[in-house]
């Protein structure tokens, strides 16, 4: 079990603040909610399975896992998101255990879970090898590891590339989230500790935005990382306008004259040796 240092705790506090900003529950429910069901089905989770959803947010994957009959523990850094998930699960009559936890230092014993999953969650932990090691550690031998991660080339990956130009350089050692959507990167992180590793690129159809500007304004109002990008340049009107234009153009590029976008993600499934 990894022990967090003072620097790790400071980094975790910054991460919590980012995801508590805005209204991520609206992003989860209005945009990415179908991915949780995709991940649960790909993991073949069923009745009686002990499942850990890491960086669970509001329970996008935890809730369908519980609905499939699994015994689910949903963990996340951000208590505000867990509270929303707890209320949603209660509305559906589902029993889920909710725990505040850092993906890089999970407070669980070795080999505890039949399945360890994460739906566009763990990818945002700053040190990829640490969180990969923790996911493998708490999964039992023969158990399932499964993730959905945005790809670098896909829409969300390109959004982070766009925002990066307007943000301060990250601390040393922090890795870009969309790397988790690169097959070679994931293979290297998991190494020889897994078998039956399957990596599939798929797309999520998003029909919420009619224009690039609608996409930009939705994420500018609701998505913590986008809000944080704007806050870092809020005293520079020219840079704010430039980011406005860049995000709207990104939206237009992926709409390509239609009313829907295709957001690429990587579906990862494996078995712990």
pLDDT at residue 4, as a whole number: 66
Which of the four CATH numbers 3.50.50.60, 3.40.50.150, 3.40.640.10, 3.40.50.1580 does domain 6-159+171-205+262-272 have?
Answer: 3.40.50.150
Averaged over 100-111, what is the pLDDT?
A: 97
pLDDT at residue 97, as a whole number: 98
Measure the CA–CA gap between 207 and 241, rounded to whole angstroms: 26
| Sequence-distant (≥ 6) Cβ neighbours of residue 149 within 8 angstroms | 120, 122, 123, 177, 178, 180, 181, 186, 265, 266, 268
Sheet strand arrangement including 261-272 = 96-100, 71-76, 50-53, 113-119, 139-150, 261-272, 194-206
Give the pLDDT confidence of 227-268 residue by residue, as tens digits: 999 999 999 999 999 999 999 999 999 998 888 999 999 999
Tokens for 228? 């944080």
pLDDT at residue 105, as a whole number: 96
Reply yes or no on whether the pLDDT at 39 is more than 70: yes
Least confident of 3-12, 40-49, 109-118: 3-12
pLDDT at residue 258, as a whole number: 85
Give the pLDDT confidence of 65-78 residue by residue, as tens digits: 999 999 999 999 99
pLDDT at residue 192, as a whole number: 97
Q: 154 phi and psi, to 5 degrees?
A: -80, -175
Mean pLDDT of the chain: 96
- Longest C-alpha distance within the chain, in Å? 56
pLDDT band, residue 5 (cuts 50/70/90): confident
pLDDT at residue 266, as a whole number: 98
pLDDT at residue 10, as a whole number: 86
Measure the CA–CA gap between 27 and 18, rounded to whole angstroms: 14
pLDDT at residue 265, as a whole number: 98
Averaged over 159-183, what is the pLDDT?
A: 94
Q: 78 phi and psi, to 5 degrees?
A: -105, 105
Averaged over 21-32, what is the pLDDT?
A: 96
Query: Where do the domains of the chain lie?
Result: 6-159+171-205+262-272
Averaged over 118-124, what is the pLDDT?
A: 98
First to last CA, the chain: 19
pLDDT at residue 1, as a whole number: 63
């Amino acid at each position: 079990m990894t022990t967090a240092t003072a620097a790790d705790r400071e980094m975790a506090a910054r991460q919590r603040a980012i995801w508590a900003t805005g209204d991520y529950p609206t992003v989860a429910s209005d945009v990415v909610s179908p991915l949780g069901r995709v991940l649960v089905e790909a993991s073949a989770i069923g009745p009686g399975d002990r499942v850990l959803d890491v960086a669970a947010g509001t329970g996008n994957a935890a809730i369908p896992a519980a609905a499939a009959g699994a015994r689910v523990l949903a963990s996340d850094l951000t208590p505000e998101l867990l509270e929303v998930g707890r209320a949603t699960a209660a509305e559906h009559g589902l029993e889920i255990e909710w725990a505040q936890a850092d993906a890089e230092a999970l407070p669980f014993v070795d080999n505890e879970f039949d399945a360890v999953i994460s739906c566009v969650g763990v990818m945002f932990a700053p040190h990829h090898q640490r969180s990969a090691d923790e996911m493998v550690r708490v999964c039992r031998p023969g158990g399932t590891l499964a993730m959905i991660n945005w790809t670098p080339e896909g829409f969300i990956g390109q959004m982070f590339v766009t925002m990066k130009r307007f943000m301060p350089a990250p601390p040393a050692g922090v890795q870009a989230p969309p790397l988790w959507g690169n097959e070679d990167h994931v293979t290297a992180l998991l190494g020889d500790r897994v078998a039956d590793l399957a990596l599939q690129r798929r797309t999520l159809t998003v029909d919420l935005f009619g224009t690039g500007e609608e996409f930009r304004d939705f994420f500018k109002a609701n998505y913590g990382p986008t809000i944080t990008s704007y806050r870092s340049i809020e005293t520079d009107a020219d840079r704010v306008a430039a980011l406005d234009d860049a995000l709207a153009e990104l939206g237009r590029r992926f709409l390509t004259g239609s009313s829907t976008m295709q957001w690429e993600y990587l579906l990862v499934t494996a078995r712990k040796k």
